[in-house]
Structures are given as structure tokens and as C-alpha cells.
Amino acid sequence: MVSWPHWIIVAIIMPMAGAVLTPIVSRKNDKAAPVWALFIMSLTSLAALFLIVRVAQEGPFSYLVGGWARPYGIELHFDEFSASIGIICLIGWLALLFSYHYVAESIPKPRIPYYYTLVLLNLTGMIGFVMTGDLFNLYVFMEILSLSAYALVAVSGERVAEMAAFKYLVMGAVSSLIILFSIGLLYAVTGSLNMADISTRLAGIESRLPVMLALAGMAMALMVKAAIFPLHIWLPDAHAIAPSPVSAILSGLVVKTGVFGLLRVYQIFYGAGTYELAGLNTTLIWLGAISIIMGAFFAIFQEDIKMMLAYSTISNVGYIVMGLGLASQYGIIGATVHIFNHALIKATLFLGAGALMYKTGYRTLTDLRGVGKAMPLTSMAMSIGAISIVGIPPTAGFLCKWYIALGAFQAGQPAFGFALVFGALFIFIYYIRMVNSFYFQPPTHPEILEVGEAPVSMLFPVLLLAALCLVMGILGRIPLSFIEPAVTRMLGG
Amino acid sequence: MEVVDIRPVLAPTLSLVCAGLIFLTGQKAFWRRFWSLGAAVLKLAVVMSMLPGTINGTVYVFRLMDFTPGIGLGFRVDALGMFFAVVSSTLWIFTTIYAIGYMEPEHSKVRFFGFFALCVSTTVGIAFAENLLTLFLFYESLTIVTYPLVIHEETPEAFKAGRKYLTYTLIGGAFVLIGTVLTYQTAGTLTLSKPGILSLANGTQTLTILFVTLIAGFGVKAAIMPLHGWLPTAMAAPTPVSALLHAVAVVKAGAFGVLRVIYNVFGVELLQQLNLTMWLAWLAAFTILTASFIALFQDNFKRRLAYSTISQLSYIILGASLLTPMAATAAIAHIANQAFAKITMFFVAGAIQRKTGKTNIHELAGIGYRMPYTMGAFTVAALSFVGVPLFAGFVTKWYLSLGALEAGDWWFVLVMIASALLNAAYFLPIVYLAYFKAPPGTQLHVDEARPTLLIPIIMCALYVILLGTTAEVPGMPFSLARAAVRFVFGM
């Protein structure tokens, strides 16, 4: 089963076909759309599972679409980093389950099948993005996921949602354009679109200017996608206004594609060997540190719980980017694992916030006071998420902090180790406000004490994710040792 | 001799499970009390069952799992850890009984007792941590689980205290984390099983930064001046919490961390070469005297006790930083000596508050006629702090002075004497007020607090005398302190 070579293409075709078919399947019965989407995602997850098992057993492997050899055909390449497909499927599946009740109330009924289409398309885009070995293909998948993300932000049809989506669209489209331009430059110089191929050919290129221009363009555009300060301005509104399951996907996964793209760019250029990357590294470390601090700073002033979570994403992407920029073994391991762990944590928090909003109808910290007594399980899950995101051991967030800090010392940049650890304290300030408001402050609206827990379809994802936040902290060595060979290979050239 | 044994894990796990059971079934008073007391007794039994082995030099270890590749969540019971564990589990029983009585009229009791149990679980985790990362893990968890206790009253004042507490302790935690990372980077290991893992490292500058970082980190909870600001403010918490924070869990976790840094991370030999601990000794001496001066002027009973705590904790730091065997013995023994005496005092303050509503010292005139047993216990504790022979505090002072002379720093003996006088100056007036300043015509009219409050008070006071009179008896905590010192100094 595991060694069947075609799972990798199944993992892309399945959700894509499922997305297109959703409106047809739910033509007669609109309850069918979520069930169909969940079914499709289950099958995709199965394929993802086989792929991850295979990469763990055999190491990286390639798949030539249609049998066309590279560099002419499209190559799908599955390495340890591509195992992110696991978290994409997990969060995607849980968000779809969560949507079952949530979306029924917050989105106009005729649009519901299209909502599921868009979510599946978005997941398709990400799955393809992490598995492709072809630079142009990478761009195509990035556009699939970006376009569906713009639409998902606007899906509720409210005026503010449209504004947020428009802002997101403008920023996103410009950055996509820059990426396309950079890919064109690389193609012009190397004559190839295959990443591994480009990597080998780059070493022999004599005119460095267009290559460096392409590198700079890609880095900047991907930083927009990753919402690194000061290119983050599209993020808070978009993530806060989207429906909560979408927020979980956007904050947990979509933002990470920017970082993931940076990782791929690094792979190409480390592979080429002869390029001086110190400038880019320094930029990333500094912008990462500034993002940590500024994200936390803005979050402190937010009253709206989802707005707060959105700013916290900026801080956390700052961690990841800093880890990448440190360019030391520990730093990059920490960064890649944080891509995974932060997805878990932020999905817990956004889905939890969604459950609170669904039951109480409130979304500010003042209004939500006392909700810990009314919805104890959801509040507990969110508290675990909060502890985890601050990086208190033994939760998932701690390991990454530990590794990236170690990476800073390893790279001889202790100051950034300090910045990282103390930035985390800054983050704690606003999460403690959340916990205070849930548990320790008298309710602003006494009727809030009457509401019960959300339905199982919402409660289960939240609790499962919170449990994973703890489990991944305690069993952190599993992802860490899984990703280690890939990082060694990447740094070793 | 190292023996693999499940008991080091069992001890913290017991309280953890019990905390879970309290959260689940604690709405009923019976179950809440049953689990709290049951776990306290069971845990003490588990800890005590390891005591004879530890005194004879057996070390119980258990490696739970690899937390990150290479660094495990490991537990290890050596003499120093055992000492801390024995003190905290003994006191937990007393505090639990006291808290059951004290918290009767309070709200949110499930939350209180649940987090109370968690707090002790993490404290034993700190005591039994095998490596610096495990220690940090429990140290940080302790901060989190004590927060709901500090803000228990949910008044604006309590929230303010909670904020201040978190700010101080989390910044401290951040320093500890940085220090841990740097230790790992420098030494390549984090184990606490050797007397000094950094001894092979070189680079005076790195080591100095490392020492300052770690001491600053643990020093916050140990309330070394100027890192003490959270402690007096945290008085807003209910009395059993103050007792727990001040005598057992939090502050001792800080002091214990400092001991681990000095004895197990750096090692005595390396620190003697580096000559780093002298400024720490001076800082401790400064803290001892300054905090005592401030205590003189406090009229609020609990605040005066708080400043006294700050002063007393620095005995431990001073003892550790003198780097001689005698001083080390004093430092370790003082963990117990201070704990029992100070918890007695807090219990007394709480009992008086519950019984009469009085929280200020000037209101206490004649209280000895009404609550003679309570005030008797207070007198015992006060005499111990002054350092009168036959009481626990004398043992500390005696060995600390000997240790100072051993190190050739005779002026610390003067600090001891000055501190003893200051202790007398701020504790004995309370005793005087209680017995001799009664309003004319006051009759002896015994009206004590309820037994659940009174019994722990008397038990702790008796223990203070026991610690002071039977220090040399084998099997008492003091022998553990001796064993720990033998290990540290390689004797």
C-alpha cells in the first residue's frame, strides 16, 4: 500500500476534484456539502498518511507527472518538509468538521456549498504547494490557495469582510506578481523551472545580478505572504473577520506557506552553494525579532479576541523567520517544527474563539468575562493554547522556543536568543488578560453563565487540538528527529 | 549507587492525579478534603520510604522520556532534593489541614484546592529534577499554578498583586531559560547529577554571564534584593497561600534553584577559581539587613512577616555563596528551619485574622490572654528566628557563623549578630504586646481558633523545637543536609 507510487498525485487530485464536485453533490440537499467535504478530506488524509510513512521509511522521493522526465515535465518531490501535508490535512479536516454548525449560522444559505468548495480548493493549493518540485508549479498552487483565501475572507458577505478581503487581495496579488517575475528571471538565467535543476545550474551562473534580484524579489514577496512586519498590514483584519474555521486555516496554515516558500528558496540557494546569503539571513533575523515584538505590542491593545489572536500570529511567524535566518542547525529545526506546532496551537485558539462566539454571540474580552464557568471545556482548551503559545513547558510551543534560542547561541547571536525569550513574555501579557477575563473576572453580561458548551462537532476539534498541544510538547522529539535529516541535508549542501 | 525506581515519579504524579480528582469531584466537600489529605499523606509516605536509602547514599533515578532528543524528562533523588521534598511534603499536610479550616467561608474552593495540589506536585518535581531543563519545566509550571491562588480574592488589589507576581517571576523564568540554553551550549549536558558540569568549560566571560543569568533567574523567587518586589504585594492572597508561597513552595524553589546552580551546575571548585560568589554574598548580607530594617516599620502583620521572609531567605543564599562545608550545611538546613518557623507565624496571623478580624500589629495588645496556645507557638517561632539555642534558627546561625569563619570572612558573623538583634526588634514587640500590654482588667479567657487551625500551628511550633534540639539525631533532616554537603564537596 505504502509504496504505491501514485498516492502523491491522488493527494492533489482528490481534494481538487472534490472541490469542483461539491456544488453538484449538494444540488438537492445542502446538508450534503459538509459531509462530502469531510469524506474527501478523509480520503486525502489517508493518502497523506501513506506518503508520510513512506518518506519516514525511504527518505525523499520524486514523482514525474505523466511520466515526463525533468526538466521538461512537472516533478512532484516529497521530502521531510513536505510532511507538512499531515498538519494541513489534520487542521483542514477539523476545520471542516467545525464548520458544520458554525457556517450554517454565519453564512447565507445559498453560499454554503461554495464555502466548502473554496475550503477544499484552498487545501488543495497548500497540499500541492508543499509537494511540488517545480517552481512554476509552486506559483500555480500558490495562486490557487491565495485566490480561494481572498474569497473565504469575504464569504460572510459583510461590508467589513469585503474591505478586509480587498486589502488582502491587493497585497497578495502584488506579491504574487513579484514572485512570477522572479521565477521568470531565474528561468531566463538557468533555462529550467525544476527546483533541483535550478539549484545545480545556479552554481555555474556568472552574471549574479539577475539571480540576486530574483532572490530578493522572492524573499520580499514571500514575506508579504508570511505577514512579516512591516508587510503584515493585511493580516489582522482578514484573519479576524473571516469565519472562525477559516481563520484557523488562514492563521495556522496559509500564512505558513510564505515561510515554507522561503524554506524552498533557501533549499535552492543552499544547494547552489556559491551564493552569499548573509544579507538575507540578517534581514530575516531582524525582521523576525521586530515582528515578535511589534505583533505582541499591537496585540496588547486589542479588545476583540480574534484580532488579538491575529496579531499573535505575526509574532509567531516572527519566531519562525528568525529561526530560518539564524541558519544554524538548531534554529532551522526549531523554525520548521514551529510551522507545525504553531498551526496546532493557533487552530486551537481560533476554533475555541469560534465556539465562544457561536454560543455567546460576543467577541470582546470584556463581553466574554465569566465564560470559563459557562463553557469550561472550551475555556480550558483555550487556556492550554495560551500557555502553549507563550512557550511554557511542557507544551508544544516550548520546544520551538528552546530550539530557536539554542540556534541563536549556536549561530553566535546570543542577543536574539534574549529577544526571543523576552518577546515571549510580552506575548504572555495579553494571553493572561484572556485567561483573567474567562475565569477570574465577574461577568459583564450575567446571562453568559447560562450558555452551555458548543455542539460536539465544534467541541471535539477544539479539545483534540488542545490535547495535541500538550502531547506534541511531551513527545516533541518525534517531529524534531523526523525533520533533522532534512535540515542536515539542506545545510550540508 | 544509583537505583532505578518508580518512586521519584510517583511522588509528583500522586499530587497531580489528586489535583485532577479535586477538579472533577471537588464540588462535594468530603471528596475535596479526602483527596487533598489522602494525597498529602500518601505522598509523604512515598517520600519518606526513600529517606533511609538516600541518607545511606543511594540515589534513586527514573528517566521518564526523552523530552527533546538527548534531554530527558528525568527524575533523580539525591540528598539535597530529598531534603527539599521532605520539607515540602511534611508542610503540605499541615497546610492542607489548615487550609481546610481557613477556607471554609471562601468561594471557589474547588479551584483553590485543585491548584493547591498542583502547586505541591510541581514543588516535588523541582526537588527531584534530574536536569536543568526538567527543573526549569517545573519552575515555570509553579509560576502558572500559583497564579490562580494569588488572585483568589478576585479584588482589584489581588489582580494587581497577581500581575506583579507574574511579571517578576516570568522575567525570572526567562532568565533561567536563557541560562539553561547557554549551559547546554557551553557544557553539552544539563544533568544535575555531578558536582559541577561546567568544570571543563573555559571562558571566564561566558561563565560570568551564565552565572549572573541563572542567579538572577532563580533569585527572583528567592527574593534577593532588588528582585523582591513581588513578595510583599503577594500578601493579598489568602493566608494559607501566603504560608505556602513564603515558607514552602515558591521562595524555596528559588533558593533551591540557587543551590543547584552553585553546587551542581558550576560546582564549588570552579566558583572558587572564578571568585564570583563574593558579590552574591554581599548582596545577600545587604538583603538580610535591609529587609529587616523595612520589617521594623511594618504595622500590617503579614507584611512584616513578608519582609522577614526576604531577610531570612538570604541566609540560604549567603550560606551557599560562602562555598565552605559548614556554610553549605547551614544553607541547606535553613530551608527547613525557616520553613517551619515561618509557616507557624503565617498560620498564627491567619488564625488571629479569622478569629478576631485583626490584621495590624498594634491591635494585638492582650491577644495572648485570648489565644494563649496560638501566641505560644508564635513565641517559639520568634525565638527561633532570633537564634536562641534549642530552637531551629540557632542551628543555622551557628553553622553559618562557623562557615564564615572557615572562609575567613569574619564580618559576616557581625551580619549574623546584627540580624539576630533586628529579628528580636521586630518579633519580640509582638510577643510583648500580646502578653504584657493587655488593657487593664483583661482576664485569661481562652477563645482559640477552631482545631483545624490550631493543631497545625502547634504541630509546626513543636517541629521547630524538634529541629533545634535533635539536629544530630540520625534520620532528622539535618543528616540529609550533611549527606548533601559530603557529595558537593566530594568528602
> Could you say which DSSP state residue A111 is in?
G
Q: Give chain B's mean pLDDT.
A: 84
Whether residue A405 and residue B177 make contact (CB cut-off 8 A), yes or no, is: yes
Q: Residue A198 in contact with residue A192, Cβ under 8 Å? A: yes
State whether B181 and A394 contact (CB < 8 Å). Answer: no
Position B475 scores a pLDDT of 65
Please name the amino acid found at residue A358. Answer: Y
Q: Who among A399, A422, A477 is closest to B174 (CB)? A: A422
Residue A460 counted as domain residue: yes
**What angle separates helix A456-474 from helix A396-410, to the nearest 10 degrees?**
40
Say if the Cβ atoms of A417 and B181 lie within 8 Å: yes
B237-246 average pLDDT score: 79
C-alpha distances in Å from residue B482, one per residue of A190, B3, B326, B406:
73, 21, 9, 17
H or E element at residue A201: helix A195-202
Distance CA A194, CA A178 (A): 19
Chain B positions touching A475 (Cβ under 8 A) are: 65
Lowest mean pLDDT among A329-343, B252-266, B380-394, B436-450: B436-450
* Contact at CB, A406 and B141, closer than 8 angstroms: no
Tens digit of each residue's pLDDT, chain A (493 residues): 778 888 889 999 999 999 999 888 888 887 888 899 999 999 999 999 999 999 988 888 888 888 888 777 888 999 889 999 999 999 999 999 999 988 888 888 888 889 999 999 999 999 999 999 889 999 999 999 999 999 999 887 788 888 889 999 999 999 999 999 999 999 999 888 888 888 888 888 888 888 889 999 999 999 999 988 888 888 888 888 888 999 999 999 999 999 999 999 988 888 877 777 888 889 999 999 999 988 888 888 888 989 999 999 999 999 999 999 988 888 999 999 999 999 999 999 999 999 998 888 888 888 888 888 888 899 999 999 998 988 887 788 888 888 898 899 888 888 888 888 888 888 888 888 888 888 888 888 888 888 888 888 889 999 999 999 988 888 878 888 888 888 888 887 4
- Look up the domain containing A396 and give its range: 277-493
Helix (H, G, I), strand (E, B) or coil at A220: helix
Q: What is the CA radius of gyration of chain A?
A: 21
Q: How many Cα atoms occupy the beta-carbon half-sphere of B283 within 13 Å?
A: 21
Higher pLDDT, B257 or B116: B257
Report CA Rg, chain B.
21
Q: Is residue A268 part of a domain?
A: no
The answer to whether position A352 is within a domain reads yes
- A444 part of a folded domain: yes
Q: Is B205 on the interface with A (CB under 8 A)?
A: no
What is the least distance, in Å, from the CA of B401 to any CA of chain A?
39
Q: Say how many domains are in chain A.
A: 1
CA-closest candidate to residue A50, choices A10, A13, A3, A18: A3
| Residue B235 DSSP label | G
A346 to chain B, closest Cα gap in Å:
20
DSSP state at residue A412:
T
Average pLDDT value for residue range B238-250: 78
What is the value of pTM for the model shown? 0.88
* Residue A255 counted as domain residue: no
SS3 content of chain B, % helix, strand, coil (to 5): 75, 5, 20
What percent of chain B is predicted at pLDDT more than 70? 98
Q: Which residue in chain A is spatially nearest to B66 when comparing CA positions?
A: A477
- Whether A73 is in a domain gets the answer no
**B385 within 8 A of B430, measured Cβ to Cβ:** no
As a whole number of angstroms, the distance between CA B394 and CA B386 comes to: 8
Which chain B residues are Cβ-neighbours of A424 within 8 angstroms? 174
Q: What are the residues whose beta carbons fall under 8 Å from the beta carbon of A278, sequence distance 6 or more?
A: none
Does residue A176 belong to any structural domain of this protein? no
Closest by CA to A84, choosing from A414, A342, A466, A375, is: A342
pLDDT digits (tens, 9 = 90+) for B21-38: 888 887 787 888 888 888
Helix (H) or strand (E) holding B294: helix B277-296
Contacts of A474 in chain B (CB under 8 A): 65, 67, 73
Name the band, by pLDDT with cuts 50, 70 and 90, for residue B70: low
For residue B75, what are the β-bridge partners?
B62, B129
| End-to-end Cα, chain B, rounded Å | 16
Which B positions 164-203 lie with beta carbon below 8 A of chain A?
A: 166, 170-171, 174, 177-178, 181-182, 184-185
Per-residue pLDDT, B69: 65
CB burial class (10 A; 0-12, 13-18, 19+) of residue A205?
A: middle
Nearest to A476 among B67, B151, B171 (CB): B67
- Provide mean pLDDT across the span B211-237: 85
Work out the pLDDT band at B190, boundaries 50, 70, 90. confident
**CA A92: distance to chain centroid?**
11
With respect to residue A351, please indicate whether it lies within any of the assigned structural domains: yes
Instruction: Please tell me which of A131-140, B79-88, B326-335, B474-483 the model is most confident about, judged by mean pLDDT.
Output: A131-140
Cβ atoms of B4 and B61 within 8 Å: the answer is yes
Q: B154 and A394: CB-CB below 8 Å?
A: no
Hey, are the CB atoms on B181 and A405 less than 8 Å from each other? Answer: yes
Chain B: residue whose CA lies nearest to A417: B178
- Across residues B174-186, what is the average pLDDT? 88
Tell me: pLDDT of B464 over 90. no
Q: Which of B108-122, B235-249, B294-308, B390-404 is the least confident region?
A: B235-249
Closest CA to A455 of A102, A131, A78: A102
CB contact under 8 A, A481 and B136: no
Chain A interface, mutation test: which of B177, B190, B210, B220, most A Cβ atoms within 10 Å? B177
Query: How close are the terminal C-alpha atoms of chain A, in Å?
Result: 33
Q: Please report where in the chains the cell 549567603 appears, as a residue.
A: B318
Contacts of B13 in chain A (CB under 8 A): none
Averaged pLDDT for residues B350-364:
82
Contacting residues of B for A421, CB less than 8 Å apart? 174, 177-178
Residue type, B179: G
Q: Which helix (H) or strand (E) holds B71?
A: strand B71-77
What's at B68, amino acid-wise? T
Q: Distance between CA A107 and CA B172 in Å, rounded?
A: 47
